[in-house]
Structure 1
């Protein structure tokens, strides 16, 4: 954000909303943000084309339902293009989506400090707490936008390459296309909510350094580390406490009836991470000596 935008956005009775609007516009106009969204939108295209080519000779993809985990949705894409939405979200959630969120959140404070605009934000009547909340709100908005980009891209490609209609749930029951579309939207919202823990972690890391690149790299590095830890059987005792452990629980929304246990655990865990690292970011930022 430029100094003029910063000061201008903080004038008048609606300065808080002006600051948020200015931050949202600045974030979503960056070429880096647009490039991240472009990459995310391209994943469903690649998956859809790969499935179309693989099945064009009559062969099948995957081995059937496979217990309902996210990637098993790929076996159903040729029957109903709506399953491409579920497959694309399952493919991007372990790395691509959280990496993009980590880049945006990690750059939130450190990027301003590196650019020399952070002091202007604090000179304006924003206050450190409101500024931090604005940055986190922007990161959460990106979580939603990134997830919807994947879902909309997948739905578009699925409609172009495969038939649409009633679909079969993991439990074997049939539901109408309208209900399936509603569940796809709900799944996208759950996936977006699954990323708020990563956003809070990235924001906290961003308050620890004045280098945006260092903050982004550290956040992505922590993400990869947690993913590795979650795959080590000997560490099963800590798995339920890792923010990525219940990410693929969104597949339970495709059961009839819906299994809510892991979904609630996932959302509760994300809320816990958001509270802990959000509080840590606030404690660090309010006590930080701003020199840039």
Structure 2
């Protein structure tokens, strides 16, 4: 979907798109008008992002994963088989899979555990990688800089939009899993990983908290993808590079000889969300995950800002 050029945009080659254009464009505007413009810019970015067919296709694929898992479990158990390794099979997907037939709400936890290692971060990498590079490739980036937003505000709007997509993608998986689980399996009280019983309402609340934690686990990937997007004018190259980095990090995390660097990989604590299904909740892994994501967001967000504010926009 193409972006319409803003009113008052200058012709290509005009000096308004120079490195200082953002600052000069907002110097004479009141704080209230700047805030209104920033909110309008964020709303515009949201609208454009979520109207793209690519974005809708990514959400469609994510929504299909819980359906496939639920149907597969239903078929397997319908033939007298069993799935997973039982409640003590671990803190991740297998333990939750074993519980799906008893309570469809466990499909939410299983689907999030299944999509978090690859599908969710890949979709975030596609959106984040295209955020700046896609605009530069289509020639609309310079026209955005003509408007009185400034490069910093534009970058923040794009990062906020990517974070909104993180939340939307995670909730898409969770809602699809909840609906599928309710249709294929019974609902009721849940047995936690610790073996205690909790009510369905509390289980539903924990499912929401887990979805929010999973969404927060992707803010580091979003910052990394945005930084990569500022390094090139090719949206495809930025998306491919970001996805390639995701795959590389996942591979590094499986090599025992590199265990010294594992705690510093952004994916190391991703599955700590399972600790929310313990009684009492284990907070150590969750807090370490959030701290690590915040560190990645700060480092690569700052790098993206430094690159973007100094970038020469010629397209």
Q: TM-score, normalised by structure 2?
A: 0.90
**CA distances 1:116-152 after superposition (whole Å, capped 9, x unpaired):** 0000010100100000000000000000000000000
Q: Is residue 6–residue 120 contact of structure 1 (8 Å, CA) maintained in 2?
A: no
Q: Which runs of 5+ in 1 are unaligned?
A: none
1:165 and 2:188 aligned: yes
State the distance in 2 between where 1:212 and 1:5 align: 25
State the distance in 2 between where 1:80 and 1:38 align: 25
Q: TM-score, normalised by structure 1?
A: 0.97
Residue 82 of structure 2 is matched in structure 1 by 60
In the TM superposition, residue 44 of structure 1 has moved relative to its aligned partner by 0.2
1:19 and 2:16 aligned: no
In the TM superposition, residue 5 of structure 1 has moved relative to its aligned partner by 7.7
Residue 51 of structure 2 is matched in structure 1 by 29
User: SS of the counterpart of 1:64?
Assistant: coil
Residue 152 of structure 1 is matched in structure 2 by 175
Shift of the 149–5 alpha-carbon distance from structure 1 to 2, 3 Å rule, reads farther
**CA distances 1:29-54 after superposition (whole Å, capped 9, x unpaired):** 00000000000000000000000000
- Residue in structure 2 matching 1:190, options 213, 224, 241: 213
Asked which structure has the greater CA Rg, the reply is 2
In the TM superposition, residue 69 of structure 1 has moved relative to its aligned partner by 2.1
State the distance in 1 between where 2:136 and 2:130 align: 9
In the TM superposition, residue 15 of structure 1 has moved relative to its aligned partner by 1.1
Quote the RMSD (CA, aligned, Å): 1.4
The count of residues paired between Structure 1 and Structure 2 equals 290
- Residue in structure 2 matching 1:84, options 69, 84, 107: 107
Residue 20 of structure 2 is matched in structure 1 by none
Q: Which runs of 5+ in 2 are unaligned?
A: 10-25
**CA distances 1:202-224 after superposition (whole Å, capped 9, x unpaired):** 00000000000000000000000
Residue 225 of structure 1 is matched in structure 2 by 248
List structure 1 runs of 4+ shifted beyond 4 angstroms: none
- Residue in structure 2 matching 1:249, options 272, 279, 285: 272
